Structure 1
Amino acid sequence: MMKLRFFYVFAMCMTVLFSTSCTKDMEYKDVQVSPVTQLYEPTDGQSVTLVASSTASLFFEWAAAKAEDSGSPLYEVVFDKEDGNFTNPIYRVVADNNGVRNYATITHKVLDKIGKAAGINGGETGTVKWTVVASRGLNSAMATEARTLTITCLKGFTELPNQVYLTGEATEGGTDIAQAVPCSMPNELGVFEVFTKLEEGKSYRLVDNNSADAKSYYINESGVIIEGQGETTVNKGGVYRIVLDFTTASVKMTEIQSMGFFFCPSNEVTFELPYKGNGVFEGEDLIEFKQESWGRDQRYKFLMTYADGTTQMWGTKNTTDSAPGEAAADDPYFYIAETPNNQWDQKWKLNNEFDGAADGANPGAVTRISVIFSGDNYTHHVELVK
């Protein structure tokens, strides 16, 4: 019995002793941190013109702070309006590597948000102030200096859509968003293009996908793309070439009057390719190659005429001086691109089977031409009707 009491008292004493020891060892110590004393990059008053690129960035760097316990401080770059004092910063950016590094790589997309938070409108230039806050635990210290940065904000959107569609009563797909008309992005990130028919007096909007949760945009009366639930009414119906530049929030709409098969030897359009729908212009006719001293000439291109009377040649995207032979319909040989308006440059050659002249390889043959403005590469198809 005495032994049991002894072990009980001993266990209680050890528990109290261990608890007291842990309390002392685990006692929180309020670690002090020194302020950053020097900012390195960017230089004071530096200017930056922002670009709509996912990789564009600006490098910020400063002298390291010191913590009382010799640990690593954490850093934030803080921004304020030009006349602010950082008591209520407009934006904070954690330094690289989750705040551990004494530098930060800040993307132009984030800088655009900072500029607009400071009241700088799209495409305009203004100045913000920045400094660095070092922290360790609950303590923090603001740098002993601050600098200014002059920002020219993006004219367009900070977040560029990956895809754009047209939907609404005025469009070929109607109000069913699942049938929305897709745009192409043939040349530049954030710049979309579509060849499509719009109905007069009806409206449409832009969306970033063809599902119910799509983000919406509309074009206002000044021709500026606005994010939101508005719609745009078509003043004049017709077939249009529409360029939607989200990097500048701008729109260019050009009405297309006609599209034609341009036969180089004749230096003229020999038959029209009416608009069929879904970005396709299609027509058919008998093609007569031109007899020359060296053989039969079968070179061709396409000529688009706009409603204002201006024209645009479309020729081969991949320079060639031969016929396609056995090339498949999706071969890059058939890809098309805008070309200079002249008779011979960047043309294709037809295979002999499309020579429907009386003295040609296939007398009476009728050829169907389809020019397709959709997808990553605009292209065209050539086939015999009979």
Structure 2
Amino acid sequence: MNKRIINIVSILPLLLAVVLGGCKKDDYKINTNLQPVARLTAPVNNKFVKLQPATSASVTFEWDQARAEDGSLVLYEVAFDKADGDFSNPIAKFTADGGGVQNHLSLSHKSLNGIAGSAGIPALGTGKLKWTVLAAKGYNIQKASEDRIVEVERPNGFAEIPVDVYLTGEATEAGTDLSKAIRLKSISNGVFEVYTSLKDGKYQFTDRNSGTPATYSVAGTVLKEGGESTHTGTKVYRLRLDFNNTNATATEITGMGLWFAPDNKIMFDLSYAGNGMFTATNQVITFKQESWGRDERYKFRMNVKDADGNAGEEWVGSSNADNSRPTSATPLTFWELWPIANNDQWNYCYKFQTEVDTKACDVKVYFQADKAYTHEVIVL
């Protein structure tokens, strides 16, 4: 019995040697060797492109495939630089189509316009961009054997149109605290506006109300990147910014009144109360007696002045040319405000609720970014 135990113990080292020998370290290594892209094929060198970033137009960049030594997939990026750049710090890189595996890239005019802006090519300017292809296998990245030039002409407007725009500065109602900056209303793609007052001091526009935002300023009728604008005096304005064509419009609002259609005149004026709101308080509203009943139609007239000092009128009313008298069940959209292009005494009027007749009321008009422009009539 003891002899058998001794024999087992004596062969244990041999068994361990066999097991450990079968667990030999794997010497497999990843092969990252590859040949870089040898030739760029499209677009032709010095191709001229008139950019149309507001459309779906695009440019396709193509190149010969790179060759991986082990025959596996290669990933591609297209790099862009200034005409005199060496791609040591490219201004933009885009992953090729198909998640990077295709040897082509379809790039929108909008993206190219952004690259051109980053390269220092101004709006309405023409300039050249250099491009090449970076092929990657693991950590091994190889630049193509050649590069090419694409010449672009930029349209007017900003390469990157902000999602939001804010107004801030000592001349504004919100002051210099960026977190309290006044948000502009987006009224169409790339166009923003705000009804506000300005006083003595400087102001600017930003693309957000925190951190270090991009800033914009106005010089006359031109919207520019960076800088500040200076205002003198205290006035109420509608400020409208169009980032599509770098246009800025400051329309002074010199007055607003509630237009009572039956009398064909202003019933009473509304005063600017701040935060895009005009108000009239404790006003008695009496409908006009007609042979067929009591007439209650009304809308609003704004007196305005353009940057050159030319005075004019703008009308604001209903989206409907004619309306029924509202009730407590009428949708809130009834009171929304819409510009009237072809105004006359009667069209696009609202109607007061029955309860308003002969009562003292507050009327509030809201031109604010967080909701549709609207108004309310409050019976006191």
Instruction: Using structure 1 for the length normalisation, give the TM-score.
Output: 0.77
Q: Which runs of 5+ in 1 are unaligned?
A: 357-364
Bigger Cα displacement from structure 2, 231-240 vs 106-115: 106-115
Whole-angstrom CA distance in 2 between matches of 1:86 and 1:279: 49
Corresponding residue of 2:203: 204
The amino acid of 1:383's aligned partner reads I
Whole-angstrom CA distance in 2 between matches of 1:37 and 1:274: 66
Contact 1:78/1:89 (<8 A) preserved: yes
| CA shift for structure 1 position 262 | 1.1
Q: Is residue 260 of structure 1 aligned with residue 260 of structure 2?
A: no
The amino acid of 1:379's aligned partner reads T
Q: Which runs of 5+ in 2 are unaligned?
A: 1-8
| CA shift for structure 1 position 373 | 0.6
| Percent identity for Structure 1 against Structure 2 | 33
Q: Which one has a larger percent strand, Structure 1 or Structure 2?
A: 2
Structure 2 counterpart SS, 1:381: strand
Structure 2 counterpart SS, 1:274: strand
Structure 1 counterpart SS, 2:311: coil
Contact 1:42/1:61 (<8 A) preserved: no
Deviations 1:213-268 (A, max 9, x none): 3526352544544555x543212321111113344444211111100111223332
Corresponding residue of 1:302: 300
Corresponding residue of 1:123: 124
The amino acid of 2:261's aligned partner reads C
Aligned partner (choices 239, 242, 248) of residue 239 of structure 2: 242
Corresponding residue of 2:182: 181
Assess, with a 3 A threshold, how the Cα gap between structure 1 residues 272 and 103 changes in structure 2: closer, same or farther: same
| CA shift for structure 1 position 324 | 1.6
The amino acid of 2:240's aligned partner reads V
Whole-angstrom CA distance in 2 between matches of 1:222 and 1:313: 26
Contact 2:218/2:248 (<8 A) preserved: no
Assess, with a 3 A threshold, how the Cα gap between structure 1 residues 238 and 280 changes in structure 2: closer, same or farther: same
Corresponding residue of 2:372: 377
The amino acid of 1:372's aligned partner reads Y
Whole-angstrom CA distance in 2 between matches of 1:144 and 1:173: 54
Corresponding residue of 1:359: none
Assess, with a 3 A threshold, how the Cα gap between structure 1 residues 301 and 281 changes in structure 2: closer, same or farther: same
Structure 2 counterpart SS, 1:376: coil
| CA shift for structure 1 position 346 | 1.9
Aligned partner (choices 267, 272, 279) of residue 269 of structure 2: 272
Whole-angstrom CA distance in 1 between matches of 2:85 and 2:16: 66
The amino acid of 2:363's aligned partner reads I
Structure 2 counterpart SS, 1:70: coil
Corresponding residue of 1:170: 171
Contact 2:49/2:150 (<8 A) preserved: yes
Whole-angstrom CA distance in 2 between matches of 1:42 and 1:251: 38
Whole-angstrom CA distance in 2 between matches of 1:179 and 1:90: 34
Assess, with a 3 A threshold, how the Cα gap between structure 1 residues 214 and 37 changes in structure 2: closer, same or farther: closer
Contact 1:36/1:62 (<8 A) preserved: no
Assess, with a 3 A threshold, how the Cα gap between structure 1 residues 319 and 210 changes in structure 2: closer, same or farther: farther
Whole-angstrom CA distance in 1 between matches of 2:208 and 2:143: 46
Deviations 1:106-160 (A, max 9, x none): 3555323321344311232334354544454536463778463524155225151
Contact 2:132/2:143 (<8 A) preserved: no
Whole-angstrom CA distance in 1 between matches of 2:183 and 2:31: 60
**1:1-386 → structure 2 map (5 Å cutoff):** 3=11, 14=21, 18=24, 22-23=26-27, 25-26=28-29, 28=31, 30-32=33-35, 35-36=38-39, 38-39=41-42, 44-51=47-54, 58-62=58-62, 65=65, 67=67, 68-81=69-82, 90-136=91-137, 138=140, 140=142, 142=144, 146=148, 148-153=150-155, 155-156=157-158, 158-164=160-166, 166-185=167-186, 187-199=187-199, 201-211=200-210, 213=211, 215=213, 217-222=215-220, 224-228=222-226, 230-284=227-281, 285-307=283-305, 308-317=310-319, 320-327=322-329, 331-343=332-344, 344-356=346-358, 365-374=359-368, 375-385=370-380
The amino acid of 1:79's aligned partner reads F
Query: RMSD of aligned C-alpha atoms?
Result: 3.7
| CA shift for structure 1 position 381 | 0.4
Assess, with a 3 A threshold, how the Cα gap between structure 1 residues 43 and 338 changes in structure 2: closer, same or farther: farther
The amino acid of 2:189's aligned partner reads L
Assess, with a 3 A threshold, how the Cα gap between structure 1 residues 274 and 216 changes in structure 2: closer, same or farther: same
Assess, with a 3 A threshold, how the Cα gap between structure 1 residues 303 and 287 changes in structure 2: closer, same or farther: same
The amino acid of 2:60's aligned partner reads F
Deviations 1:73-109 (A, max 9, x none): 2222233556778798654322134422233343555
Whole-angstrom CA distance in 2 between matches of 1:101 and 1:240: 53
Assess, with a 3 A threshold, how the Cα gap between structure 1 residues 317 and 217 changes in structure 2: closer, same or farther: farther
Contact 2:262/2:295 (<8 A) preserved: yes
Whole-angstrom CA distance in 1 between matches of 2:86 and 2:161: 29
Whole-angstrom CA distance in 2 between matches of 1:180 and 1:141: 46
Corresponding residue of 1:360: none
Structure 2 counterpart SS, 1:333: helix
